Amino acid sequence: MEGIPILTSVHPPYGVFYGVTEGEVNEYLGQLGARMKAILERMSAVSKIKAKEFLRGQMEMFGG
**Residue 27 covered by a domain:** yes
User: Cα-flanking dihedrals φ and ψ of residue 55, to 5°?
Assistant: -65, -40
Which residues form the domain of 46? Answer: 6-61
Judge whether 39 lies within some domain.
yes
- Taking 80 as the threshold, does the pLDDT of residue 51 lie above it? yes
Considering its fold, how many domains does the chain have in total?
1
Does pTM top 0.75 for this prediction? no
1 is a domain residue = no
Q: Would you say residue 20 lies in a domain? A: yes
Domain contains 26 = yes
Q: Position 32: which residue type?
A: L
User: Tens digits of per-residue pLDDT, 9-32?
Assistant: 888 889 999 999 999 999 999 999
Task: Please answer whether residues 6 and 16 qualify as being in contact, where contact means their C-beta atoms are separated by less than 8 angstroms.
Answer: yes
State residue 52's pLDDT score: 82
